[in-house]
């Protein structure tokens, strides 16, 4: 039982980070119909930026963190939106999908070629001394990851629910035509969403870097998991992505421990395919929006 | 004049076939292998172009469909079953898998379909890698025999190339026939406007699933021909990356155009050879090329050629690509 609780905690901790990536994914989809196949690489770039600013240039942690977020927001948010997405939005979903696949390849192999093909170590952010809670041994890292992820997602939720900009985003997600008629500048909102997404992935990168190490190809797995999380939870709802992220993290951790057979990687996929067949809008998604 | 042009149109494929058949005489072993691989890719791309380019149903599972053909030939071959029977069984299995995967296509839209098929590809990969008693797991299956007709054995690389060329020609002709039939017209009608197609009496359900299944069956044939090429297959050959490669092939060639797969297949096999000198930078160049292409010629190379020569697209206007319904308020 204590084993189970420890695994559960580890799963929730990693799942909270997946959820951050998945929420960014969902926001992009909602406001701009962009399926970002480079979402994993959007985590890799800030992770490398953090390594550069913090461990290589030895800047203070807070400065490095702010620089990383700014670089990510400018490059992956504003830059990608202006250089790539603006032109492609008119071309339809498929060219956009292929272009983001191209972007993910470009980022991945540029880092491998021009920076390093090796895994870079990343110092732990929190004390590695375990703490006991009843009979359960928890790592500070796990607790703090969950706490920070909750704070970040909570702040984002407040932004969307309480600010004018947030209302405008909801309006665009619900009905783009109507939002335009109401005088909302949809193009500007798309840009803001891209910047928000890049900020989210930058923060997720800093939390996950000590767990995963920093390597050019970690984005493949991360991107897929964010993807799964978004589909399982519900592609058109932030709460769905949150649920999906946690579910993917927990199922993955538990199945790695308990399913000894060769199909341990398949547990998440079984859920994915089950959801797609039985409730394609996702466990917590809304049907009407994508039925049109 | 018109008669001469029609005659030329008819002669052109035959001339190309003759040139391709003479090709192995002048090629060294490695280049011949690349040419053979191009034939496999051509068959794969024709299948995907049917599913995606003509019927507008995105598939990220063509690598998995390919595996059905490859493993059918490999496993049945071990038990002494002739190659052609293995190929047909593989194509039939891929066809059946296409039916199963195509079924969700009835309910979901492009992006969800991308995810269903993506999940299916990963699933198939996991099964192939882990079902050791059948597939050899990560060790794969080696010593896959090339086809033999009695005393005539296509063992040498040249002979096998010609054998593959025969199948490729068959695939090209059959695809041409399907696309010219009412099936092809129904596929295009679905792509252009689902609702209108249905109103005109096209059964969406049947045609959508069939577009998937036929595309998958072609992939099965491609996989069956691929297996004896190196005589060795393992699960790693049929990953999601492979499916994405096929997708790029079709898009870069030109979606929904008959010439598209030819150009795409040549591009994807020849480009790495040309860029080989740049070593690892190849993938970086490749990625840049893909992005630039989507930015500046989303209709693929065929589309770019049309634009250069200003020739109207044959068979009426062909829209750029699979697209969402026009949305006046799309952000720009």
Q: Give the dihedral sign, CA A150/A152/A153/A154.
A: positive
More confident residue, A152 or B185: A152
**CB within 8 Å of A257: residues ≥ 6 apart:** A3, A7
CB contact A278 to B (< 8 Å): no
The C-alpha atoms of residue A248 and residue A267 are separated, in whole angstroms, by 9
User: How far from A200 is each of A23, B78, B196, CA to CA, in Å?
Assistant: 8, 52, 42
Tens of pLDDT, residue by residue over B44-92, are 999 999 888 888 788 889 999 999 999 999 999 888 888 889 999 999 9
User: Residue A246 pLDDT > 70, yes or no?
Assistant: yes
Give the closest-approach CA distance of A2 to chain B in angstroms. Answer: 31
Give the tokens for residue B255.
């979606």
Dihedrals phi, psi of B129, to nearest 5 degrees: -75, -25
Longest dimension (CA), chain B: 67
Determine contact: A220 vs chain B, CB below 8 A. Answer: no
The larger pLDDT score, comparing residue B108 to residue A275, is at: A275
CB contact under 8 A, B322 and A105: no
Question: Which of B101, B294, B300 has the most A C-beta neighbours within 10 Å, making it the best mutation to test the interface with A?
Answer: B294
CA distance A141 to chain B (A): 31
Interface test with B, best of A85, A97, A281 (most B CBs within 10 A): A97
Interface test with chain B among A32, A102, A216, by most B beta carbons within 10 Å? A102
Residue B325 CB-density burial (10 A; 0-12 exposed, 13-18 middle, 19+ buried): exposed
Nearest Cβ partner for A110 among B110, B244, B284:
B284
Report helix angle A186-212 to A218-233, nearest 10: 120
What mean pLDDT comes out for the span A128-149? 85
Which residues 185-214 in chain A show a CB within 8 A of chain B?
Answer: 186-187, 189-190
- Which pTM was predicted? 0.81
Checking if the pLDDT of A148 tops 70, the result is yes
Which residues in chain B have their CB less than 8 angstroms from residue A229's CB? none
Contact A93, B323 (CB under 8 A): yes
Q: How many CA atoms lie within 13 A of A51 on its CB side?
A: 22
Q: Which two tokens stand for residue B290?
A: 């893909």
- The pLDDT, as a whole number, for residue B296 is 84
d(CA A182, CA A186): 10
What's the rounded Cα separation, in Å, for the pair B66 and B51? 14
**pLDDT at site B110:** 60
Q: A 115-174 residues with CB below 8 A of B?
A: none
Give the residue-averaged pLDDT of B21-32: 80
- For chain A, positions 90-119, list CB contacts with chain B under 8 A: 90-99, 101-103, 105-106, 109-110, 112-113
Report the candidate in B327, B324, B57, B271 with the shortest Cα–Cα distance to residue A96.
Answer: B324
Cα-Cα-Cα-Cα dihedral sign, residues A103, A106, A110, A112: positive
Least-confidence region, from A90-94, A103-107, B243-247, B289-293: A90-94
- Distance (Å) from the alpha carbon of B324 to chain A's nearest alpha carbon: 6
Give exposure, B243-256, as e/b (b: 16+ Cβ within 10 Å).
Answer: bbbbbbbbbbbbbb
- What φ, ψ does residue A56 adopt, rounded to 5°? -85, -50
The DSSP secondary structure of B158-186, one letter per residue, reads HHHHHHHHHHHHHHHHHHHHHHHSHHHHH
Chain A partners of B61 at a C-beta cutoff of 8 Å?
none
Q: Report pLDDT digits (tens) over B216-240.
A: 999 999 999 999 988 889 888 898 8
Q: Residue A215 pLDDT > 80, yes or no?
A: yes
Residue A97: name the closest of B238, B230, B89, B324 by CA.
Answer: B324
Closest residue, chain A, to B121 (C-alpha): A269
A151: part of which helix (H) or strand (E)? helix A140-162
Please tell me the distance in Å from B14's CA to the nearest CA on chain A: 34
- Residues of B whose CB is below 8 A from A262: 126, 129-130
Residues of A in contact with B248 (CB under 8 A): 98, 101
| Cα A244 to Cα A232: distance, rounded to the nearest angstrom | 5
Enter the tokens of residue A100: 């983001």
pLDDT for res B51:
87
Q: Which two tokens stand for residue A69?
A: 């977020």
d(CA B65, CA B84): 18
**DSSP H/E element including A91:** none
E strand spans, B100-245: 141-142, 148-149, 152-153, 232-233
Name the percent of chain A lying above pLDDT 90.
42
Evaluate if residue B323 carries a pLDDT over 70: no
Window from A117-121, A230-234, B126-130, B325-329 with minimum mean pLDDT: B325-329
Find tokens 């696309």 and name the residue. B179
Considering only CB atoms, which chain B residues are within 8 Å of A91?
Answer: 294, 298, 320-321, 323
ipTM of the shown complex: 0.86
CB contact under 8 A, B111 and A29: yes
CB atoms closer than 10 angstroms to residue A217: 16
Q: Answer for the pair B250, B53: CB distance below 8 angstroms, yes or no.
A: yes
Taking CB atoms and an 8 Å cutoff, what residues of chain B touch A225?
Answer: none
Q: What share of chain B is helix, strand, coil (3-state, %, to 5)?
A: 75, 0, 20
How far is B155 from B158, CA to CA, in rounded Å? 8
Number of A to B CB contacts under 8 A, please give it: 142
- CB B159: neighbour CB atoms within 10 A? 15
Whether B322 has a pLDDT exceeding 60, the answer reads no
Instruction: Please give the full DSSP string across B211-228, using - where no structure is assigned.
Output: HHHHHHHHHHHHHHHHHH
Q: What is the predicted pLDDT for the residue at B285? A: 83
- Which H or E element spans position A179? helix A176-181
Instruction: Please enumerate in sequence order all residues whose Cβ is within 8 A of that of A150, keeping only pairs 6 or more positions apart, or say none.
Output: A16
Please check whether residue B290 is in contact with residue A99, taking contact to mean a CB–CB distance below 8 angstroms.
yes
Q: How far is CA A154 from CA A149, A171, B201, B279, in A?
A: 8, 20, 50, 46
User: Minimal Cα–Cα distance from B247 to chain A, Å?
Assistant: 8
Residue A134 backbone class (left: φ over 0; alpha: ψ -120 to 50; beta: rest): left
Q: A95, A177, A192, A264: best mutation site toward chain B, by most B Cβ within 10 Å? A: A95
- Angle at A87 (CA atoms; ends B272, A19), nearest 5 degrees: 80
Tell me whether residues B104 and A277 touch, CB distance under 8 A.
yes
């Amino acid at each position: 039982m204590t084993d189970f609780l420890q695994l559960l905690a580890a799963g929730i901790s990693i799942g909270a980070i997946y959820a951050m990536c998945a929420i960014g994914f969902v926001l992009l989809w909602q406001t701009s119909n962009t399926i970002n196949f480079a979402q994993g690489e959007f985590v890799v770039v800030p992770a490398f930026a953090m390594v550069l600013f913090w461990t290589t240039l030895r800047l203070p942690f807070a400065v490095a963190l702010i620089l990383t977020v700014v670089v990510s927001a400018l490059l992956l948010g504003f830059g990608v939106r202006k250089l790539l997405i603006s032109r492609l939005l008119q071309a339809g979903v498929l060219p956009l999908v292929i272009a983001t696949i191209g972007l993910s390849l470009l980022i991945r192999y540029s880092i491998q070629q021009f920076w390093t093909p090796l895994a870079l170590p990343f110092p732990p952010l929190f004390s590695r001394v375990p703490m006991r809670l009843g009979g359960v041994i928890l790592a500070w890292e796990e607790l703090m990851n969950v706490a920070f992820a909750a704070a970040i997602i909570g702040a984002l939720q407040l932004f969307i629910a309480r600010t004018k900009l947030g209302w405008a985003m909801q309006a665009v997600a619900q009905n783009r035509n109507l939002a335009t008629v109401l005088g909302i500048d949809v193009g500007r909102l798309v840009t803001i969403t891209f910047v928000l997404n890049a900020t989210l992935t930058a923060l997720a990168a800093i939390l996950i870097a000590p767990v995963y190490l920093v390597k050019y190809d970690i984005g493949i797995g991360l991107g897929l998991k964010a993807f799964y999380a978004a589909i399982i939870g519900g592609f058109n709802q932030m709460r769905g992505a949150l649920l999906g992220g946690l579910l993917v993290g927990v199922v993955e951790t538990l199945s790695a421990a308990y399913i000894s057979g060769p199909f341990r990687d398949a547990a998440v996929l079984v859920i994915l395919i089950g959801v797609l067949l039985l409730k394609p809008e996702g466990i917590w998604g809304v049907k009407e929006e994508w039925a049109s | 004049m018109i008669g001469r042009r029609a005659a030329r149109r008819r002669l052109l494929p035959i001339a190309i076939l003759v040139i391709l058949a003479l090709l192995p005489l002048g090629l060294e072993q490695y280049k011949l292998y690349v040419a053979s691989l191009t034939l496999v890719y051509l068959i794969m791309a024709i299948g995907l172009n049917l599913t995606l380019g003509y019927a507008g149903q995105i598939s990220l599972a063509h690598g998995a469909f390919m595996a059905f053909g490859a493993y059918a030939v490999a496993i049945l071959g071990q038990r002494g079953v002739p190659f052609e029977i293995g190929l047909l069984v593989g194509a039939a299995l891929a066809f059946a898998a296409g039916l199963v995967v195509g079924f969700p296509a009835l309910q979901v839209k492009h992006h969800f379909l991308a995810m269903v098929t993506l999940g299916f590809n990963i699933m198939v990969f996991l099964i192939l890698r882990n079902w050791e008693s059948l597939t050899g797991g990560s060790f794969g299956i080696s010593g896959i025999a090339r086809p033999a007709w009695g005393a005539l054995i296509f063992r040498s690389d040249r002979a096998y190339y010609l054998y593959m060329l025969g199948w490729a020609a068959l695939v090209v002709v059959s695809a041409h026939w399907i696309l010219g039939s009412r099936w092809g017209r129904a596929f295009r009608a679905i792509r252009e406007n689902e609702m209108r197609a249905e109103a005109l009496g096209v059964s969406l359900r049947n045609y959508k699933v069939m577009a998937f299944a036929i595309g998958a069956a072609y992939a099965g044939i491609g996989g069956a021909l691929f297996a004896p090429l190196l005589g060795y297959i393992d699960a790693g050959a049929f990953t999601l990356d492979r499916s994405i490669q096929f997708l790029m092939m079709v898009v870069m060639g030109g979606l929904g155009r008959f010439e598209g797969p030819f150009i795409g297949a040549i591009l994807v096999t020849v480009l790495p050879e040309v860029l080989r000198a740049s070593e690892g930078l190849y993938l970086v160049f490749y990625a840049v090329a893909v992005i630039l292409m989507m930015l500046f010629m989303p209709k693929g190379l065929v589309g770019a050629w049309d634009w250069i020569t200003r020739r109207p697209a044959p068979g009426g206007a062909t829209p750029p690509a699979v697209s969402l319904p026009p949305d006046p308020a799309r952000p720009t």
